[in-house]
């Protein structure tokens, strides 16, 4: 049973999509699992042939339980070991030497200080949220291998809490824990959205209907960029310490039918173009509503945005989703009174609020964070 989030202890195997004898490829959806967060597609990370299904449909089992065996048991079930949402950290960039002008080909190659991490280990670490900086390599030339990542993931497995029985309960527990443990502080700032609107109108005039950008894309990108610029708001607070993430996986709170709520991540949102963010957002929304999310998306967010941009809400005062340390609330985008040069006029605005963890940052940093978001919205073409 894969871990799909820090608070997940168990899941119900709703439906198998495979049977013994089936050949499976990495990335295949092999089962549907009902979790407290909804029905989630379980993807497999190994190729092979299904040998045995060890858990029957309808059974509820703890995270880490082996669900099925591949290849006569030859392949370890390590692809379903519990995930821990510690973000991977990009290794230091290689040192470079000044290029030789006269004989480029003869210049000695700069010695690489890049850590040796196998491609598969890097991918696995990302899936499991393992911080590669904390993993010692035991492969050839001290490279970090899959096994190293899996060991690190297991070592970092959080203590088991009492089982949760439905999504409301898990949200309840997460929110209670948040309010109990996290000293929130709140700030808000109304920002002009006029320039962003102009930009969107201009852009949308050049593309077909399906490719049009919604305000959410600009807002999400602005938050992601700001989180990248101010890493104190992007990361996890665990074991009495904050660990910033160098990657920005932006959680987007999406309401599901039946009063349920999830916040899957747009991975590396700061690196993605607006059209790509838009595409992914649409895709996420579709899949969330259909109940099909990928485990990696649910376990990854480093900061979350909860948006009411198209609702009738002025100020959002959100609750941080632990172990994250910040959440950005977005109120409705609409015209509000706006004073420019002593004159009041109607301006398209959006109220942006921040709830942040006082153990990590304080209000001054928070206000700079909001200002960074505002500034980003004033130069949308640079997003």
338 pairs with which residues across the strands? Answer: 345
* Least distance (Å) between residue 153 CB and another protein: 15
* C-beta of 68 vs 263, nearer to another protein: 68
* Least distance (Å) between residue 109 CB and another protein: 17
State how far the alpha carbon of 217 is from the alpha carbons of 262, 273, 291, 307, 363, in Å.
18, 9, 22, 11, 26
* Least distance (Å) between residue 123 CB and another protein: 5
* C-beta of 153 vs 303, nearer to another protein: 153
Peptide bond into 120 cis (omega under 30): no
* C-beta of 76 vs 231, nearer to another protein: 76
**Residues 6 or more apart in contact with residue 276 via CB below 8 angstroms:** none
Whether residue 192 contacts residue 375, with contact meaning beta carbons closer than 8 Å, is answered with no
In this structure, the dihedral spanned by the alpha carbons of residues 282, 264, 125 and 96, taken in order and rounded to 10 degrees, is 60
* Least distance (Å) between residue 71 CB and another protein: 7
Give the interface with another protein as residue ranges (CB under 8 A): 25-26, 46-48, 71-72, 74-76, 118-123, 136-140, 142-143, 145-148
CA dist 50 and 21 (Å) reads: 5
In this structure, the dihedral spanned by the alpha carbons of residues 197, 202, 208 and 212, taken in order and rounded to 10 degrees, is -20
Among residues 108, 80, 82, 84, which one has the least CA distance to residue 95? 108
**Residues 6 or more apart in contact with residue 35 via CB below 8 angstroms:** 4, 8, 11, 12, 167, 170
* Least distance (Å) between residue 147 CB and another protein: 6
Among residues 120, 361, 213, which one has the least CA distance to residue 372? 361
* C-beta of 143 vs 348, nearer to another protein: 143
* Least distance (Å) between residue 146 CB and another protein: 5
* C-beta of 118 vs 332, nearer to another protein: 118
* C-beta of 122 vs 221, nearer to another protein: 122
* Least distance (Å) between residue 74 CB and another protein: 4
Q: Beta strand pairing status for 303-307 and 326-330?
A: parallel
* C-beta of 111 vs 198, nearer to another protein: 111
């Amino acid at each position: 049973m894969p871990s799909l989030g820090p608070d997940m202890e168990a899941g119900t195997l709703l439906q198998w999509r495979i049977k013994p004898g089936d050949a499976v490829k990495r990335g295949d959806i092999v089962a549907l699992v009902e979790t407290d967060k909804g029905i989630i597609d379980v993807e497999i990370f190994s190729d092979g042939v299904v040998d045995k299904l060890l858990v029957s449909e309808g059974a509820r089992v703890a995270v880490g339980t082996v669900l099925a065996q591949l290849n006569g048991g030859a392949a370890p079930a390590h692809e379903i070991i519990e995930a821990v949402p510690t973000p991977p950290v990009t290794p230091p960039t290689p040192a470079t030497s000044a290029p030789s002008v006269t004989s480029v080909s003869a210049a000695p190659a700069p010695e690489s200080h890049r850590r040796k991490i196998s491609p598969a280990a890097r991918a696995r670490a990302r899936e499991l949220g393992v911080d590669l900086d904390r993993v010692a390599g035991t492969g050839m030339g001290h490279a970090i291998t899959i096994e190293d990542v899996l060991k690190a993931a297991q070592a970092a497995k959080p203590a088991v809490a009492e089982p949760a029985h439905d999504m409301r309960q898990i949200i309840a527990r997460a929110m209670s824990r948040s309010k109990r443990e996290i000293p929130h502080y709140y700030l808000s700032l109304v920002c002009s959205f006029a320039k962003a609107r102009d930009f969107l109108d201009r852009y949308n005039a050049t593309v077909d209907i399906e490719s049009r950008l919604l305000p959410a894309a600009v807002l999400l990108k602005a938050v992601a960029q700001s989180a990248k610029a101010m890493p104190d708001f992007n990361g996890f607070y665990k074991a009495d310490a904050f660990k910033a993430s160098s990657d920005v996986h932006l959680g987007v709170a999406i309401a599901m039918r039946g009063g349920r709520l999830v916040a899957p991540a747009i991975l590396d949102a700061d690196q993605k173009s607006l059209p790509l963010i838009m595409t992914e957002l649409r895709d996420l929304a579709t899949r969330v509503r259909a109940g099909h999310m990928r485990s990696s998306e649910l376990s990854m967010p480093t900061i979350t945005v909860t948006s009411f941009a198209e609702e009738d809400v002025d100020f959002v005062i959100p609750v941080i989703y632990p172990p994250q340390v910040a959440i950005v609330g977005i109120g409705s985008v609409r015209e509000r009174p706006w004073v420019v040069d002593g004159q009041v006029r109607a301006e398209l605005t959006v109220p942006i609020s921040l709830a942040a963890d006082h153990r990590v940052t304080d209000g001054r940093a928070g206000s700079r964070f909001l200002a960074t978001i505002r500034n980003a919205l004033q130069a949308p073409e640079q997003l």
